[in-house]
Amino acid sequence: MSAPYTERLVAERKYHVGLTQGDVGQYVLYPGDPARTAVIAGFLDGAREVAFSREYRTFTGSVAGVPVSAVSSGMGGPSVAIGVEEMRELGVHTFLRVGTCGATQPGIKVGDLVIATGAVRTEGTGDGYVPKEFPAVADYEVVTALLEAAREAGARHHLGIIRAVDALYSDLVPDTMPDGPKLKAELEMWAKAGVVANDMESSTLFVVASVRRLRAGSLLLVVDEVGAGEIHHLDPAYMERMLKVAVGALRRLIERDAARK
């Protein structure tokens, strides 16, 4: 007789992320770039690489004595959703995206941090879960922890609604697209509505986390300013500052979770 379905889910090595029970902590820092997980590992205690499958590269260490993992998602919503689904089956309950974004407001500069409170769903992956009317909202505990950590670090940051997209270059260089005027008008409309930045993953993360009753937040590093039309290679100090804020936020969440127990 085969094991019950829930037991098999835990026991099996997950097809895409290449992880099994015990490989990953319940708290995950979730960047896009596999190379960035090795950098994040330097901010965790005793981190070691435990898997590298497709775009998902995983290092697991600890923060405040609690297992924490850095897992890359690759680019875009589909791989974010797959990773969340497979890791939740291994017990992950908190996801913090640490990625990059393009600013949509003039006062937001390269190197600044953006803490997303929610995201406009102009990507498509979330549509496979719920209709567009369902909002993509960050978990308030994660947002609060990020704000506190950013203030403590003295990091220049912005709080607000972002927008997630599938086609990066339609945003970067709309004039080169077949329907350039429409794309430019859409970008201007979202900016007038107060959207502070664009990325490719956050709305999917928020939707899947909400549907699956998980916690998720998004901390983004600005790599493109309004009208620049290009992505900047950053001073490594900017990335280090973002990761210090992210780990500081996780530490707060871990300590508050422990206090509730």
Q: Which two tokens stand for residue 236?
A: 């490594």
Nearest to 166 by CA among 120, 235, 214, 208: 120
0.95 cut: is pTM over it?
Answer: no
Report the first-to-last Cα separation within the chain, whole angstroms: 37
Count of CB atoms within 10 A of residue 257's CB? Answer: 16
Give the pLDDT confidence score for residue 235 in this predicted structure. Answer: 80
Please state, in angstroms and rounded to a whole number, the distance separating the CA atoms of residues 157 and 81. 27
Mark 85-120 as b/e (b = at least 16 C-beta within 10 Å).
ebbbbbebbbbbbbbbbbbbeeebebbbbbbbbbbb
Give the pLDDT confidence score for residue 172 in this predicted structure. Answer: 81
Please state, in angstroms and rounded to a whole number, the distance separating the CA atoms of residues 217 and 145. 10
Below-50 pLDDT ranges, the chain: 1-2, 5-6, 8-10
Nearest to 185 by CA among 196, 198, 171, 199: 171
Q: Which two tokens stand for residue 77?
A: 């919503």
Q: Please confirm, yes or no, whether 224 is among the known catalytic residues.
A: yes
Give the pLDDT confidence score for residue 170 in this predicted structure. Answer: 85
Give the pLDDT confidence score for residue 168 in this predicted structure. Answer: 85
Nearest to 139 by CA among 205, 36, 74, 215: 215
Catalytic residue among 166, 224, 235, 257: 224
In the chain, where the domains are located:
5-260
Nearest to 97 by CA among 257, 206, 212, 258: 206
Give the pLDDT confidence score for residue 41 in this predicted structure. Answer: 97
| Residue 39 CB contacts under 8 Å (≥ 6 apart), including other chains | 239, 243
Give the pLDDT confidence score for residue 71 in this predicted structure. Answer: 98
Give the pLDDT confidence score for residue 4 in this predicted structure. Answer: 53
* Structure confidence by residue, pLDDT tens digits, 148-170: 999 999 999 999 999 999 988 88
CATH class of 5-260: alpha beta
Q: What backbone torsions phi and psi does residue 61 show, to the nearest 5 degrees?
A: -140, -140
